Structure 1
Amino acid sequence: MSQTYQEAIENSNIVSKTDINGIITFVNDEFCKISGYTHNELIGENHNIVRHPDIPKSNFTLLWDTILNKKPYKATVKNLTKDGKTVYLNTTITPILDENDEIKEFIAIRYDVTEEVELKKRLEKKEIELEELNKDLENRVSLQTKKLQELNKTLEQRVNEEIEKNEEKQKLLFWQSRMASLGQMLANIAHQWRQPLTELNLTLFNMNKSFKNNNKEKTDELYLESKILIKTMSSTIEDFTNFFNPQKDKKSFEIKEAVQEALIILKKVLNDIEVEVNVANNFKVVGVLNELSQVIINLIQNSKDAYLFNNIEKKIITINLSEEKISNKLYAKLQIKDNAGGINKENLDKIFDPYFTTKYKSQGTGLGLFMSKMIIEKSLEGELSHKNFEDGSLFIILIPLNNLG
């Protein structure tokens, strides 16, 4: 080996030599730098000085069997530095033979892969955590499905009890006919909320991509995004399960928070849809925040489906919030408008009916707008209405303002 070639190897790699018994006879500056030992501390010592205690003896048996048979040994080796730090080195150990074809010494050339190994370990740990979160969510869905089935069994009794409490008999008869389908409706909602789990596939793909690009910040961001999505979905399922529970807690909340929560959940599916949001603070109402979020999600998803069905190129959804006074009572007026073509005139009077849908059966159950109207009217004591406006649909939600805040 020429001197120039030897210098090039020593300057770009971590190099050491040992005699046939494993005693160090040479180390370069890079070896000293990564191990923390000086030349004087290493020369004459057994190469075990940098051995990590976690490495099983079988690894070293394989190493010596290989190199004593005059074959090179290649592996990613875990070493321990002088100050107790763990490093990982891609290592190639080559026997050097004399003129009699006998082993004269061993030369080891290494390069540092500690950062890559640690990144891989962190990613594997996070993937395991995500898998555990997925399993937990599946268990929650299974548990809530059982509760829904029990709710369906006692649905008729619940309707009868509600009729006895309400003085407006005609209105109650109307709700009785709609509540008869509640069990199936809630089961469908539980099923539909499991579908957004597929969004995690995209997140994991991007996480893997950012890992390969050594983008730790992006990897952590995607990991947190997945956890937030899963927890939000789980919370929403529980809220729907408790929808007709008279003991559920209603609280004062900002409508802006419900809008923001809905847009976070829909972030991955909006794609090329431009969403213009004109929603201010200080519009507080009383109810369950996640229920209003679910209404907003359903209305935006309907717009998304309409864009696809009508082949609309420039897609714009506008969300506006204002105050309106009706009969000396103040209301929050939330308007969600799209430019997806609107609804056919012959269907305008049917869109809030249960099981009415213009989509294929595989794409919708016809329960989304029916459920949304129930939430607004029964839970938030407001109104939900629709009209075709300009080149699309305009949904208007009126909810009494909580002036006591």
Structure 2
Amino acid sequence: MLRQYKEAIEKSNIISKTDINGVITFVNDEFCTISGYRNDELIGKKHSIVKHPDVGKEKFKLLWETITNKEIYKDTVKNLAKDGSTFYVNSTIIPILDKNDNIVEFIAIRYDVTKEVLLREELLKKESEYEELNRNLEKRVAEQTKELKELNQTLEKRVRDEIAKNEEKQRVMFWQSRHASLGQMIANIAHQWRQPLTELTLALFNIKKAAQNEKVDDISKFYDESKNIIKNMSQTIDDFTNFFSPDKEKYYFNVSDSILESIVLLESVINDEMITLKTNFEDMKVLGITNELTQVMINLINNSKDAFIQNSILLREISITTKQEGGFAVIEVQDNAGGITKENIEKIFEPYFTTKHKSRGTGLGLFMSKMICEQGLNGTLDVKSKKKTTTFSIKIPLDKNEK
């Protein structure tokens, strides 16, 4: 019976014996397997043969102080195999005493915990990287929030300056509308973050579940998924900040790029309201400020969206086309939202005129859009409505060198 117990212990554990000087006198097959050394390479050697260079002298000093004081030593030890690989073992070293209470040898019983230790290290690494990502995101949000506050202060100062100088009433209306757009875009960014925040919560839950089940591949997969979600959330902030850039210097810009930016900023609204958006663009450049044309396009798309809702249109379509015509870049935005009455179409560009509920419109969007097209882009904005469709047409002069 005692022999069977001994065999069971030797086959299920990693065992070695050393004399009082730490010289190996016995190792079992499990010790040879995990270390990569043969029995004859180990017998007569000290345990430093498997010492890992990362393990400091202090740990071995504590070990010898413990066992030479006839006490049992327990620890998780990092070792180095013959082939240079690392393995970890939970070790229990027991001093063996004779009848006179003198130490005659030491027995070390170990079991392999390499997999568990490496998994724990991988988890700690992922946690550290994830914390760093969160810190960077928080820093980025704080920086962007500061920039937006400064930007808002700049806008307010410009409004105050315009009022103080008693300039044309149109300029005051322009900034009033700009602030209304700011509030609308803040609502858009909050809406666009709801889904990725839900996805991020799910990814974190999956990381925790994978860790509990020791699925290292799944941990990496969900970790990469989380990084991509955070990257996309950060890009949303960049798009939002770029849109409200206060830069007012005119330059040549690509018309289609400006239109595409408006579509990106309103993507969640377009999807939520189940609007089919069709585009057909020609490559053209005009002189002006790209953000202002983007603002005009946002106003037009939002007006179509509100008309779809107000008129209970089920199949909702907006088409946006660009083309060159008689020295002009022509942008046409058409919807099937029910059209505009003859009475209203004559007033549609007047300031504070709106057919919407006061909670949905200020009556400044189209007025401001027309002012941007005429004063900012040196062009025109016109509208036609027939057969339940409405078409807004923007014309901007093309420079012959920039077509």
The equivalent residue for 1:16 is 14
CA contact (8 A) 1:130 1:227 kept: no
After superposition, the Cα gap between the structure-2 partners of 1:304 and 1:239, relative to the gap in structure 1 and judged at 3 Å, is closer
Q: CA deviation at 1:108?
A: 0.9
Higher deviation after alignment, 198-207 or 136-145: 198-207
Q: Distance in 1 between matches of 2:81 and 2:357?
A: 65
Q: Distance in 2 between matches of 1:303 and 1:401?
A: 26
The equivalent residue for 1:252 is 253
Q: Distance in 1 between matches of 2:124 and 2:300?
A: 41
Match of 1:142 among 141, 146, 159: 146
Structure 2's unaligned 5+ residue stretches are: 97-105, 211-216
TM-score, L = length of structure 2 = 0.61
The yes-or-no answer on 1:398 pairing with 2:394 is yes
What amino acid is the match of 1:284? K
State the SS of the aligned residue for 1:282. Answer: coil
* CA displacement 1:61-95 (0-9 Å, x = unmatched): 79x99xx998997x8x876677877x686x66678
The equivalent residue for 2:101 is none
After superposition, the Cα gap between the structure-2 partners of 1:289 and 1:39, relative to the gap in structure 1 and judged at 3 Å, is farther
The equivalent residue for 1:166 is none
Q: Distance in 2 between matches of 1:268 and 1:78?
A: 53
State the SS of the aligned residue for 2:321. Answer: strand
Q: CA deviation at 1:125?
A: 1.8
After superposition, the Cα gap between the structure-2 partners of 1:311 and 1:118, relative to the gap in structure 1 and judged at 3 Å, is farther
Q: Distance in 2 between matches of 1:374 and 1:271?
A: 30
The equivalent residue for 1:332 is 330
The yes-or-no answer on 1:106 pairing with 2:109 is yes
The equivalent residue for 1:169 is none
RMSD: 5.7
What amino acid is the match of 1:205? T
Q: CA deviation at 1:55?
A: 8.4
The equivalent residue for 2:213 is none
The equivalent residue for 1:320 is 320
Q: Distance in 2 between matches of 1:263 and 1:206?
A: 28
Q: Distance in 2 between matches of 1:369 and 1:60?
A: 82
What amino acid is the match of 2:331? K
The equivalent residue for 2:176 is 181
What amino acid is the match of 2:152? L
Q: Distance in 2 between matches of 1:54 and 1:311?
A: 74
Structure 1's unaligned 5+ residue stretches are: 164-171
State the SS of the aligned residue for 1:214. Answer: helix
State the SS of the aligned residue for 2:244. Answer: helix
After superposition, the Cα gap between the structure-2 partners of 1:400 and 1:304, relative to the gap in structure 1 and judged at 3 Å, is closer
Q: Distance in 1 between matches of 2:127 and 2:133?
A: 10
- Identical positions, percent: 21
The equivalent residue for 1:25 is 27
Q: CA deviation at 1:299?
A: 5.2
CA contact (8 A) 1:141 1:190 kept: no
CA contact (8 A) 1:148 1:241 kept: no
State the SS of the aligned residue for 2:218. Answer: coil
After superposition, the Cα gap between the structure-2 partners of 1:194 and 1:268, relative to the gap in structure 1 and judged at 3 Å, is closer
What amino acid is the match of 2:376? S
Q: CA deviation at 1:242?
A: 1.1
Q: Distance in 1 between matches of 2:295 and 2:123?
A: 38
* CA displacement 1:97-121 (0-9 Å, x = unmatched): 99xxxx9642313252546743762
Q: CA deviation at 1:207?
A: 4.8
* CA displacement 1:209-243 (0-9 Å, x = unmatched): 67557275775466356435534533543552416
The equivalent residue for 1:205 is 201
What amino acid is the match of 1:201? L
Match of 2:376 among 375, 379, 382: 379
The equivalent residue for 1:286 is 287
Q: Distance in 2 between matches of 1:110 and 1:227?
A: 36
Q: CA deviation at 1:157?
A: 3.6
Q: CA deviation at 1:308?
A: 7.6
CA contact (8 A) 1:155 1:183 kept: no
Q: Distance in 2 between matches of 1:56 and 1:366?
A: 79
TM-score, L = length of structure 1 = 0.61
Q: Distance in 1 between matches of 2:310 and 2:74?
A: 63
Q: Distance in 2 between matches of 1:272 and 1:30?
A: 65
The equivalent residue for 1:167 is none
Q: Distance in 2 between matches of 1:281 and 1:60?
A: 78
Match of 2:125 among 121, 136, 139: 121
Q: CA deviation at 1:287?
A: 3.3
CA contact (8 A) 2:92 2:110 kept: yes
* CA displacement 1:344-393 (0-9 Å, x = unmatched): 999875698559685685x8877666665555454334426485864xx7
What amino acid is the match of 2:244? F
Tell me how many residue pairs correspond in the alignment.
Answer: 368
What amino acid is the match of 1:112? K
Q: CA deviation at 1:291?
A: 4.3
After superposition, the Cα gap between the structure-2 partners of 1:274 and 1:180, relative to the gap in structure 1 and judged at 3 Å, is closer
Q: Distance in 1 between matches of 2:349 and 2:8?
A: 79
* CA displacement 1:137-176 (0-9 Å, x = unmatched): 333332442343244234354368695xxxxxxxx54x14
Q: Distance in 2 between matches of 1:202 and 1:259?
A: 29
After superposition, the Cα gap between the structure-2 partners of 1:42 and 1:19, relative to the gap in structure 1 and judged at 3 Å, is same
